[in-house]
């Protein structure tokens, strides 16, 4: 009998297939004492396992490239954390085996993260995965990971670690469903990059029996258990219609009556550029520069290294617009040379622009590198600061850009409600706004973007979030300046129409989403988008907002 479950759709497409569950290893080693003369040997075993796992994560990242590479390199840094290794050594000296020392040290660190505020707690899944991989290697048991199968299947897991998601084989894994996670979690972002239909935050999915036939709609978040032939035909037909629309869509983003909405790509480094170009991106709306700084958490990259990486991206978009976000460190992206240690709540502490203003030499080097990278290129370079709270922040950033001799537009990200509420004030200092809807939702609703239990509050369809978008867009229009969206909200084709109706002037997203958004925008006039936006803002819940917008655009 067909039943329907609902989670959060995070990656477009339809997958119909049998369930396979994520495999796990026996990960808690026995607690036994070792003689003192074996301590040195056990410490050596522990270090070898740590280095092997770190090397494997880096190798997986090199294979995957792009955003996945940065995520996996960050996991490798977790494995090699000096404080963790020192804790393991201490536990072995007092009698623990290598595997038990790793297990207990990571468990202690896990408790610290879980109690360090919502933002840091969202990294527990990444920490668990690193621990499991090291312990599995020491115990000689299979690594936790994607099941072996000769036939295509739909993968179900409690959560997916980045190391697993990054190397999923789309020819075998038709789609995936997780019980935890959120629309802006690492797994969701990587799923969109892979083009694999996915649903997250679906409690109870793990209880579905192995081999059960299901249908996954990554656009709506619906999972159909034992779908009828009619339902399968309906979903297949809808998927075919979307595919046909994609094939016929090309050129710049625009509504059906010619209102231009540039469609830009979010990139994490040079490796993401080919996919963006292939998808027809009109430029880059968010160039995350963190990937350069994650290689070495103790030292900032040299000016020369930065120039080389930035120029590769800028050269790919001649006559195009490239918006670079300066280093956004802190909270879940700590860097030893930049961010404070032991902050009680890093997400509300010194992160983003705050960190850079505390270390002006790091900001100056990055801005100088960007200026030099753009020399002689016909690119429209724009540089923006993350976590801008008010006009004082915006002025400090604009002054730093000018002092570095940067010939570019200076902008501010709107990720904090105060920035949306006072957007017109901020625009007295900068030339454009860019809405980071992921963090803006997180701070508006006090809901960590990595915690599945509060995922409904991370839904970008929340009317309160749409209100803040409208405030920002109205302020930019009044000042004759631009206001784009570079958060994951832009990757939802229907929401892209609503954002356009709210007055947003450009949309930036993962490359895989650009064709979907282009095709959907081209179906509706600007007036229809404006009516859909008004209907969505008049709703009381995210679900009602989506339904209201759908009703307007479908002519109901």
Catalytic residue set: 186, 486
Are residues 437 and 489 in contact, defined by beta-carbon separation less than 8 angstroms?
yes
Is residue 542 within 8 A of residue 532, CB to CB? The reply is: no
Q: Give me the sign of the Cα torsion angle 444, 448, 453, 456.
A: positive
Q: How far apart are CA 514 and CA 456, in angstroms?
A: 25
Q: What is the dihedral of CA 429, 435, 437, 443, to 10 degrees?
A: 10
Tracing tokens 């119909």 back to the chain, one arrives at 16
Q: Which of 74, 77, 73, 48 is nearest to 62 (CA)?
A: 73
Which letter does DSSP use for residue 387 in this model? Answer: S
Can you tell me which residue has the tokens 């994520």?
22
Token match 């030893």: residue? 336
Q: In what order do the strands lie in the sheet with 222-225?
A: 3-6, 222-225, 213-217, 14-21, 153-157, 173-178, 198-200, 8-11
DSSP 209: P
Return the bridge partners of 409, or none: 382
Burial of 95 (0-12, 13-18, 19+ CB in 10 A): middle
Helix axes 98-114, 124-139, angle to 10 degrees: 170
- 């002519």: which residue's tokens? 555
Residue that is written with structure tokens 């784009």 in the block: 484
- The backbone torsions φ and ψ at residue 535, rounded to the nearest 5 degrees and listed phi first, read -65, -40
Query: Two tokens at 486?
Result: 């570079």
Q: ∠407-410-415 over CA atoms, to 5°? A: 155
Residue 82: burial class (beta carbons within 10 Å; 0-12, 13-18, 19+)? exposed
Radius of gyration, CA atoms only, the chain: 24
CB 91 within 8 A of CB 101: yes
- Location of structure tokens 């240690």: 341
* Sign, Cα dihedral of 494, 499, 503, 504: negative
φ, ψ of residue 515 in degrees (nearest 5)? -60, -40
């Amino acid at each position: 009998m067909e039943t329907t479950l609902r989670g959060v759709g995070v990656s477009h497409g339809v997958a119909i297939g049998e369930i396979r569950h994520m495999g796990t290893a026996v990960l808690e080693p026995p607690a036994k004492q070792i003689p003192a003369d074996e301590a040195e040997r056990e410490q050596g075993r522990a270090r070898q396992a740590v280095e092997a796992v770190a090397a494997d994560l880096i190798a997986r990242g090199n294979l995957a490239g792009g955003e996945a590479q940065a995520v996996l390199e960050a996991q490798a840094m977790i494995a090699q954390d000096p404080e963790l290794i020192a804790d393991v050594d201490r536990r072995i000296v007092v009698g623990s085996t290598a595997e038990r020392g790793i297990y207990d040290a990571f468990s202690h660190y896990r408790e610290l993260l879980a109690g360090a505020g919502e933002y840091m707690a969202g990294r527990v899944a990444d920490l668990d995965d690193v621990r499991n991989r090291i312990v599995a290697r020491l115990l000689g048991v299979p690594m936790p990971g994607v099941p072996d199968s000769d036939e295509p299947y739909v993968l179900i897991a409690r959560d997916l670690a980045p190391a697993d998601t990054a190397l999923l084989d789309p020819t075998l894994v038709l789609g995936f469903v997780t019980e935890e996670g959120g629309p802006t979690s690492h797994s969701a972002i990587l799923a969109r990059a892979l083009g694999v239909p996915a649903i997250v935050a679906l409690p109870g999915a793990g209880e579905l029996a192995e081999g059960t036939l299901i249908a996954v709609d990554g656009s709506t978040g619906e999972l159909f258990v034992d779908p009828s032939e009619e339902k399968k035909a309906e979903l297949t037909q809808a998927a075919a219609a979307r595919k046909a629309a994609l094939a016929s869509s090309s050129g710049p983003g625009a509504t059906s009556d010619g209102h231009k909405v540039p469609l830009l790509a979010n990139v994490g480094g040079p490796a993401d550029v080919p996919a963006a170009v292939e998808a027809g991106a009109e430029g880059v709306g968010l160039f995350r520069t963190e990937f350069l700084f994650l290689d070495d958490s103790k030292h900032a990259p040299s000016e020369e290294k930065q120039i080389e990486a930035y120029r590769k991206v800028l050269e790919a978009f001649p006559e195009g617009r490239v918006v670079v976000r300066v280093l956004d460190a802190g909270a879940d992206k700590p860097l030893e040379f930049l961010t404070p240690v032991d902050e009680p709540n890093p997400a509300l502490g010194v992160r983003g622009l705050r960190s850079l203003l505390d270390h002006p030499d790091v900001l100056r080097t990055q801005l100088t590198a960007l200026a030099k990278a753009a020399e002689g290129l016909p690119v429209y370079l724009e540089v923006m600061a993350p976590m801008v709270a008010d006009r004082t922040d915006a002025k400090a950033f604009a002054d730093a850009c000018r002092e570095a001799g940067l010939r570019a537009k200076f902008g501010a990200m709107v990720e904090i409600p105060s920035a949306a509420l006072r957007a017109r004030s901020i625009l007295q200092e900068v030339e454009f706004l860019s809405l980071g809807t992921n963090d803006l939702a997180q701070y508006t609703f006090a809901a960590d973007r990595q915690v599945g239990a509060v995922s409904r509050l991370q839904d970008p369809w929340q009317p309160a979030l749409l209100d803040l978008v409208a405030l920002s867009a109205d302020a930019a229009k009044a000042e004759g300046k631009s206001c784009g969206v570079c958060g994951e909200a832009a990757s939802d084709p229907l929401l892209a129409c609503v954002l356009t109706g709210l007055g947003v002037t450009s949309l930036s997203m993962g490359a895989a989403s650009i064709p979907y958004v282009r095709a959907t925008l081209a179906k509706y006039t600007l007036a229809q988008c404006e009516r859909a936006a008004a209907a969505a803002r008049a709703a009381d819940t995210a679900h009602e907002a989506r339904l209201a917008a759908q009703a307007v655009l479908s002519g109901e």
